[in-house]
Structure 1
Amino acid sequence: MTDIEIKEEYVTRVEGHGNIVVNAANGEVENCEWQIVESPRYFESMFIGKNYEAVPHITSRICGICSASHVNSSLKAVENAIGVEISEQDRKLRKLSLNGEMVQSHVLHVGYLALPDLVGSKSVLPLAASHRDEVETVIRLHRLGNELLETTAGRSVHTERLIPGGFSRIPSERDLEDLRGKLEGAWDDLDAVVEFLGTLTDELPEFERETEFISLTHPDEYALLDGVIYSSDTGEMRNEDYESIVNEYIVPQSSAKFTKHARESYFVGALARVNNNFDQLSPKAKEVAAAFGLEPVCHDPFMNNVAQVVELAHLFEYSIDLIDELLDAGLEPQSDYNRPDITPEDGRGIGIVEAPRGILIHDYTFEDGTCRKANSVIPTNQNHANIQHDMEAFVPTILDEDEAEITRKLEMLVRAYDPCISCSTHYLEVEFVEG
C-alpha cells in the first residue's frame, strides 16, 4: 500500500480522547501525529482553597484506576508541606496499598486489554468464550489486587483510609494473615499467565527505538512509594528539581502537555522501572523476566506489557515480605476512625510515587492549613511525546503491510503504554483511504 490516510479517534489519558493521524503518499510518510483532543481537566484548581485533610480525598477521585497512587503522592506532598512524619508501620501499609493498585492495574491491562490483541480477539468478551480458563485466571488475579486495596485502603476504588498522618483505620493482624494466604495461593495463577503469554510473544511486533527511561530509584528497594528521580541517561536527580526534569511544553496537536528531558522524549512506566532497577527485582520476578528474555536496557515499547507481568511477580513477593514484617513486629494498636492530632506548618511539599503507568508528581504549597498553590504531573502526559516519536519511527516500517495488520499494530503501539483509561475503548476502527 503506497498511499494511505488514517484518521482515527483514540481514547487515552484520564477519561480523555486522542487521535491517530497518519498520511502517506507513494510509500513516504507525510504526516504522523498523536493528537490529544480532550479538553484539559485542570484538576489542580480543585485543590486551591481546600484544607490539608480534604486534598488527598479529592485526589483519590481523579482516576478510578490510579486512586491509591494519587492519594499516596498527594499525602507525601501534604505531609512534607505541613511538617508531618508517619510511622514505619503506616509506611509499610501504604506500600501495600500501592502494591494492591499495581496488581489490580497490571492485571487489568495485560489480561483484559493487551491479551485480546495477541490472540486476535476484538475484546475480552469473545476471549472469554475461546479461552475461558485463561480469562478466569485473570479474573482471580484481578480480584486479588482488589482485596489488597480493600484490606489496606478500605475499598478497591477511591481509597478512604489513607489520611494525613497515617490511616483512619488499619487492618487487623487476622486481615493481614488472610491476605498473605491468598497471595501465597495465587502463584499457580500467575505462573499460568506467564506460561500462556510465553506462547504468544511472537505476536508482539518487532520494533525498537532508543529512548530515555525515567523512574524512581532507591538504594534499598525496588522503588515504588519512596525514592529519587533517576534517568537512564543522566543518573540520579533531585525530586525538588522535577519541573526542570519533565520540562512540560505545548504542541499544536494536543490539549495535553508533552514532556522531554535529556532527549526529545522519555518513557515512564513498568519498562522504565525494570530497566532502571532490574537488580532490585525479587528472585521470582527475575525468573519471569528471563522466561521472556527481558534484560536491561530494553528499548522495545511493546515489552512494557511483559515488564508489567515481571512486576506482578515482584509485587507478590514484596507484599508477602511486607506482611511478614508487619506481623513479626506486631501491629501497634489504633482506634477505629483515627484522626491524628496535627498542627499544620506553612510550607511547600512535593510527593512523587510510581503509579502503574510511571512517576506521578503532586506539588502543594500550604498556608494556615489551606492549599494555596498546586501542580500535578501524571504519567500518561509524560509518555505522550514518546508515543509520538515511536509512531514516527514505527509507521514507515509497516506501510507495506495490509490494512488490518497496520490497524492492529498502531492500536498495539499506543496500548503498549497502558494509557490511563485505555479500558474505555479496546477496538479501534481505522479508515484507510487509498490514493
Structure 2
Amino acid sequence: MKDLSLSVHHVTRVEGHANITVDVRKGEISELKLEIVESPRFFEAMLRGRSWEDVAHITSRICGICAVGHTTASLRATEVALDLVPSAQTVLLRKLIIDGETMQSHLLHVYFLVAPDLLGVGSVIPLAATHPEVVKRALRLKKLANDICGVVGGRAVHPISMVVGGFTRIPMAPELEGLRQRLVEAMPDLEATAELIKALPLPRLENPTEYLALKNQAEYAFYDGDIASTDGDITPVKDYRQKIRETVVEHSTTKHVSGNRQSLMVGALARFNNNHEQLHPLAKKVARELGLRSPCHNSFMISVAQVVETVHAAEDAIMAIDELLGRGLKDEPIKVPVKAGSGVGAVEVPRGTLYHEYSYDSKGLITDSNLIIPTGQNMANIEFDLRAILPQILDKPKEEIAHTLEMVVRAYDPCISCSTHLLDVRFV
C-alpha cells in the first residue's frame, strides 16, 4: 500500500493562486485540500453607500475575463430592485455582448490553458513554434470575440456603455454588419477548433454530481431563466439562497457551496447537461461529432462543452445581429425611477451561474449586497473530483500524479481571484 506526500505550489495555467496538498497513508487518503491562498477582495464592503449609477462599473472590476457578466448581473439586480424593465433592443444587445464574452473566455481556456496539457508542452509559447497554425487560429477567433465586446460595450474589457436601463451608445449598423460577416467567415476556424479538441486525448473521470444552470424554455439560457438542477428541481432566481448554501472552510479564502449534495458543478458542462436540446443546429452537430452526450459526468469534458458553446455563441450572435438590424437600431431615452428596493440578478458567465443581490435605500444607495461567483460554487466539486481520481493514479510517478491533479483543477477553468469571499458583511 502506497504512502504519498505531495504539495503543489502553485497550480499553473489558472487565474489566481491555488495549492494542492495531498497525504496518503497505506493507500488511504488522509488529507486532500485545494487551498485558495489569495486575500478576500471585499467588493461587497466597497459597494456600501454607493449609488445605483456606480455599482455596475465597480463590480465589473471583479474580473477582467467575466467583466461583461458581472456588469450584466449587476444591472439586472439593480433593475429588479428599481422595478425597471429594459427594452427589447437592450436585451438583444446584452445577449450579443454575452455571446462575445463567452467566446473570449472559452477560446482562451481551450487554446491557451488546456491544449498545452494535451499536446505535451508546458505552455502555449512552444506551440507557436510547433503548431503555429493553431495559435494563429486562436488569436483570430479571440480578436473577433474581443471586437464583439468592443463594439457593443465600448471596449473589449470592462464595458463602459452598459448602464441601468440601456446603453449610453448604440452600435452603428455598419459595425454590426461587419461583425456579422466576420462571424460567418469564422465558421471554418470554429470547425477546425472542434477537430483539434476531437483529436486530443482527454482523460476519463466519471464522477456524477449535481449540475446547476439557468434554464429558459425559449432558449439556451445565458441571460435569463430559473435555476435548474439535473437532480430534477427548479428554483426561481429570487430564491437562490434556498438552493445555494455557502460554507466557510479553514483551508481556503473561497467558500464552498453545496445544493442537494455535498458539492455541485456550474459552467459549460452543467449548462450542456441541463439545456443541450436548446443548442443551435451547428453546435448540436459539433456536440455529436465530439461525442458529448447528456448526461456527461466526466469533468475533463468541460473543455469539449466549451467548444460546443463557442459555436453556439457564434450562431447566436449572428441571429442577434440579424434581429437588431431587422428591428432598426435607435437611441432610447433612459429614465431610472430611484427608490428603495431589493433585487437579484443572475446570468450565466463562462464559468457558471453568477448571482448579484442588492438592497437600496430611498436615495438609491446600496445598503446590503451579496455576490456568489461560479468558481466558488465549483470549489467543493473540484476537491470531490481530486479525491475520485487520486486512487486511480497512485501507482504513477509522483510528478505524473501532480500533473494529473493540476489538470483536474485546470479543467474547471477556475477564476480564483473572483471567488475569494470570506467575510459575511453586515451593514448598519
Query: TM-score normalised to the size of structure 1?
Result: 0.93
Deviation (angstroms), 1:346:
1.2
Deviation (angstroms), 1:36:
1.6
Change (3 A) 1:11 1:66: farther
Do structure 1's residue 156 and structure 2's residue 156 form an aligned pair? yes
Measure the CA separation in 1 of the matches of 2:396 and 2:8: 18
| Residue of 244, 248, 258 corresponding to 2:256 | 258
Change (3 A) 1:384 1:13: farther
Measure the CA separation in 1 of the matches of 2:134 and 2:294: 29
Contact kept? 2:170, 2:330, Cα under 8 Å? no
Residue 346 of structure 1 aligns with an amino acid whose one-letter code is A
Do structure 1's residue 282 and structure 2's residue 280 form an aligned pair? yes
| Residue of 337, 357, 361 corresponding to 1:363 | 357
| Residue of 391, 394, 397 corresponding to 1:399 | 394
Deviation (angstroms), 1:38:
1.7
Do structure 1's residue 64 and structure 2's residue 64 form an aligned pair? yes
Do structure 1's residue 390 and structure 2's residue 399 form an aligned pair? no
Contact kept? 1:24, 1:30, Cα under 8 Å? yes
Equivalent runs, 1:345-356 vs 2, <5 Å? 345-356=339-350
Measure the CA separation in 1 of the matches of 2:153 and 2:359: 26
Q: Number of residue pairs matched?
A: 417
Deviation (angstroms), 1:14:
9.7
Counterpart of 2:294? 296
Counterpart of 1:110? 110
1:92-136 CA distance string (max 9 Å, x none): 001111111110000000010000000001000011111000110
Equivalent runs, 1:26-425 vs 2, <5 Å? 26-200=26-200, 202=201, 204-334=202-332, 340-367=334-361, 368-420=363-415
3-state SS, counterpart of residue 363 of structure 1: strand
Structure 2 unaligned runs (5+)? 418-428
Contact kept? 1:224, 1:354, Cα under 8 Å? yes
Measure the CA separation in 2 of the matches of 1:125 and 1:421: 23
Counterpart of 1:429? none
Measure the CA separation in 2 of the matches of 1:30 and 1:100: 44
Counterpart of 1:5? 5
3-state SS, counterpart of residue 255 of structure 2: coil
1:120-169 CA distance string (max 9 Å, x none): 01000011111000110011111111011001101111111100110010
Residue 352 of structure 1 aligns with an amino acid whose one-letter code is A
Residue 340 of structure 2 aligns with an amino acid whose one-letter code is D
Measure the CA separation in 2 of the matches of 1:301 and 1:14: 16
1:47-96 CA distance string (max 9 Å, x none): 11001010000011111100000000000001111121111001000111
Measure the CA separation in 2 of the matches of 1:240 and 1:405: 45
Contact kept? 1:48, 1:373, Cα under 8 Å? yes
Structure 1 unaligned runs (5+)? 423-435
Further displaced range: 232-241 or 360-369: 232-241
Measure the CA separation in 1 of the matches of 2:298 and 2:344: 31
Contact kept? 1:14, 1:63, Cα under 8 Å? no
Measure the CA separation in 1 of the matches of 2:254 and 2:247: 9
Deviation (angstroms), 1:411:
1.2
Measure the CA separation in 1 of the matches of 2:388 and 2:209: 12
The alignment's C-alpha RMSD in Å is 1.7
Further displaced range: 397-406 or 66-75: 397-406
Query: TM-score normalised to the size of structure 2?
Result: 0.94
Contact kept? 1:12, 1:419, Cα under 8 Å? no
Deviation (angstroms), 1:235:
2.2
Deviation (angstroms), 1:46:
1.2
3-state SS, counterpart of residue 46 of structure 1: helix
Measure the CA separation in 2 of the matches of 1:82 and 1:303: 40
3-state SS, counterpart of residue 372 of structure 1: strand
Change (3 A) 1:341 1:57: same
Residue 102 of structure 1 aligns with an amino acid whose one-letter code is T
Residue 367 of structure 2 aligns with an amino acid whose one-letter code is R
Measure the CA separation in 1 of the matches of 2:278 and 2:210: 20
Contact kept? 2:14, 2:113, Cα under 8 Å? no
Change (3 A) 1:394 1:412: same
Change (3 A) 1:171 1:218: same
1:389-430 CA distance string (max 9 Å, x none): 1111111111011233222211110000000159xxxxxxxx
3-state SS, counterpart of residue 195 of structure 1: helix
Contact kept? 2:11, 2:20, Cα under 8 Å? no
1:344-365 CA distance string (max 9 Å, x none): 1210010000010000000000
Residue 289 of structure 2 aligns with an amino acid whose one-letter code is A
3-state SS, counterpart of residue 62 of structure 2: coil
Deviation (angstroms), 1:12:
8.8
Measure the CA separation in 1 of the matches of 2:164 and 2:264: 32
Counterpart of 1:433? none
